Amino acid sequence: WLPNIIFKTKLILKLLFKTNCCAILHSTTILLLLYFQNSLLISSDGSYGFVSERSPCACHTCVADRGNSNWFSERYDPNVPLLLNSTNSVLNANVSRWWKLFPLFPDKEHYSDTGSDRCRTCAVVGNSGNLLGSKYGSLIDVHDFIMRINKGPTEGYEKDVGSKTTHRIVYPESAIDLDNSTHLVLLPVKILDIQWLISAFTTKNITQTYTEVPSTIKANKDKVMILHPEFIRYVYDNWAEGHGSYPSTGFLTLIFALHICDEVNIFGFGATSDGIWHHYFEKILTSYDIGIHAGRFENETINRLQQENKILIYKGWP
């Protein structure tokens, strides 16, 4: 198609020169420049095309670039609110019915610094037993953001899982003490979860949900974040496609990373090389195919994300 456009453009220019239509030529040139101002004509193996010079980040491949995957762009919504704050706390009727609103924690605008000069690398570290013996520790620790899920420990496993943590995504029943530099990211799946969070930093009177929970936790209150109910619903609708009761913590963390990171690498997801599902810090076998989460569907979606060159999965084995 491009040679035809070039040929026709040349004919138009010749006619304009012959008729001395300087004003028309000037206008035509401006329109052409405006049309292609953000594009570049490239040639490779004899083929030509216009590609955008603008990029959402400075990485070689940007996860937020929706132009290279129709499957991804149908699901990825760059405008969905990720974290609750005072300016986005009013939910629309559909989200409010799906998830009841709650008192807010102190808010702050986060992760709005996207741009062509930024390349934020993120490691999403799951809890799979395939991390054991992987020696991924140093590789994980070089990422800008290192997101860990629930109670997955680092002490004693540093060679395989790394030692740094920037974000810990938890719910009350999986909460653990954090150092002063780590963000506590609460996944609220019920109103009591928010009440527990406030209580943990104030009255310390909530000790029970459906099971015993800590009355307080060690964490930096200035780094507390709360995943937005609309974001959780978005993950359920767009990415889990309604499978299961609600998405797993690991799956939500991965989609969260797709929205705030430019490169996403995941570790500790999936089974071990012999097909066994268990956590690296315990021997209890788990199953991704039963329970309230759609583990099989989530696993297929994660693999599809790699096929679409949106993430890179480190399996812990060849």
The answer to whether the beta carbons of residues 200 and 214 sit under 8 Å apart is yes
Would you state the structure tokens that stand for residue 179, as one six-digit string? 């150092």
| Given 76, 136, 246, 288, the catalytic residue | 246
- Location of structure tokens 């590789």: 139
The answer to whether the beta carbons of residues 176 and 202 sit under 8 Å apart is no
For the beta carbon of residue 229, count every other beta carbon within 10 angstroms. 22
Q: Spell out the long-range contacts of 254-257 with Cβ–Cβ below 8 A and sequence spacing 24 or more.
A: 254/124, 254/302, 254/305, 254/311, 256/82, 256/147, 256/169, 256/185, 256/227, 256/231, 257/122, 257/124, 257/145, 257/147
Give catalytic status of residue 246 as yes or no.
yes
Strand extents, DSSP E, the chain: 39-44, 47-52, 121-125, 145-149, 167-170, 183-186, 224-226, 263-267, 312-314
- Location of structure tokens 């359920």: 236
Q: How far apart are CA 197 and CA 101, in angstroms?
A: 14
Give catalytic status of residue 234 as yes or no.
no
| Given 183, 228, 278, 293, the catalytic residue | 293
- Show which residues are catalytic: 246, 293
